[in-house]
Amino acid sequence: MATKNRSMGAGLLLSFAWTAVLAAQPPEPINLGRTSLATVRASSVNGTRGQGNPYNGIPNAFDDGQHEIHRLNYTEWLPDSVPPQWAEARFDCPVAVSAIEAVFSGDTLPPNPLEARGDRTPLPPGDRPEPDREEGPHGGKCRATFFGPADKLLFQADFEGARLPVAPAVENVVRVRLTFDLHNLHVADIRILGRVPDGVAFTTGSPRFESDPRDAEEYGRIAFDDWFDAMKGKITTRREDLGQTIAVIFECDGVVLYRAEIDKRTLGILHAAPRARWTPLPSRE
């Protein structure tokens, strides 16, 4: 019995020791750009559009490939087509960065693959490759620059592949800038991998961005479109015979939304307006 107890005790001690070793291992790096500590911005967004434009804005490069609007996935940052262009993330507290990853849309590739090899022979339209998400750029360079407090330069490196490992990890980083020397740039995703200091509270999800009143208008339009799409199935019509004209009335849940008065003889629209501005035509009698 004593031998069995000693064996069990040794097993428990070994188990506790192994658990302690596992607990001491550093956690897996997280995407720092998708935390509440990050604020992102870019050199441009598709001409003069705002930073947070829902269709092309810089937050789309930090959405893990999911940003659906009207059942379509808008998950690319689309800057001006002329390089260089840059994207940047600022952090509320110093972080440690261990890798940079970039996912590019196929639109970033040379439109004619033969041109990349110096052959200018045009391809027939049917032979051109379909755009697709590609890991890393093809031709051209990306530059990663890390800054510490007071804009102190901590690290800088050029890379052309999908991933730039940084070993050892760069500590005390408060700003990361990625500069892209690529034409027709479409960035599907940017991942800034690293760790947050112990004791710092944060949540994961979309980062903050420097908003623009134009962005609010775009999101308001999307909200209206969603509301209107949902309401379409509830809209009913009815007619009122007004003698020489017929009023066609559109209602939703008993509320008049719109009405049009149609001439019986010519079918011309004599008067059309939302209910709020509706005033009947003078009688012809």
3-state SS string for the chain: CHHHHHHHHHHHHHHHHHHHHHHHCCCCCEEHHHECCEEEEECCECCECCCCCCCCCHHHHHCCCCCEECCEECCCECCCCCCCEEEEEEEEEEEEEEEEEEEEEHHHCCCCHHHHHCCCCCCCHHHCCCCCEEECCCCCEEEEEEECHHHCEEEEEEECCCEEEEEEEEEEEEEEEEEEECCCCCEEEEEEEEECCCCCCCCECCCEECCCHHHHHHHHHHHHHHHHHHHHCCEEEEEEECCCEEEEEEEECCEEEEEEEEECCCCCEEEEEEHHHCCCCCCCC
Q: How far is the C-alpha of 103 from the C-alpha of 100, rounded, in Å?
A: 10
pLDDT score, position 118: 39
Note down pLDDT in tens along the chain; length 285 residues. Answer: 555 455 444 444 444 443 343 334 457 899 999 999 999 999 999 888 888 888 888 998 998 767 666 666 677 898 988 889 999 999 999 999 999 998 887 655 543 333 333 333 333 444 434 434 444 444 458 899 999 999 999 999 998 868 899 999 999 999 999 999 887 888 889 999 999 999 999 999 889 987 777 777 877 887 888 877 877 778 889 999 988 899 998 888 888 888 888 888 888 887 766 654 544 444 444
**pLDDT in the model for residue 284:** 41
**What pLDDT does residue 68 have?**
67
Amino acid at 276: A
Residue with tokens 């940084």: 166
Residues in the chain: 285
- Computed on alpha carbons and rounded to an integer, the radius of gyration of the chain in Å comes to 30
User: Residue type for 197, please?
Assistant: P
Please tell me the number of Cα atoms within 13 Å of 57 on its side-chain side. 24
pLDDT of 273 reads 67
In sequence order, the β-bridge partners of residue 87 are: 42, 178
Per the CB < 8 A criterion, the answer to whether 247 and 239 are in contact is yes
Beta bridge partner(s), residue 68: 73
Residue 155: its pLDDT value, please? Answer: 97
DSSP bridge partners of 48? 45
Is the CA virtual torsion 244, 249, 254, 258 positive or negative?
negative
**pLDDT for res 216:** 79
CB 36 within 8 A of CB 205: yes
Burial label, 123 (beta-carbon count in 10 A; 0-12, 13-18, 19+): middle
- The correct CATH number of 25-227 out of 2.60.120.260, 3.90.550.10, 3.40.50.980, 3.40.50.300 is 2.60.120.260
First to last CA, the chain: 115
Q: What distance in Å separates the CA atoms of residue 45 and residue 144, rounded to the nearest whole number? A: 20
Q: ω before 213 within 30° of 0 (cis)?
A: no
**Other Cβ atoms closer than 10 A to 29:** 16
What is the rounded distance in angstroms from the CA atom of residue 10 to the CA atom of residue 14? 6
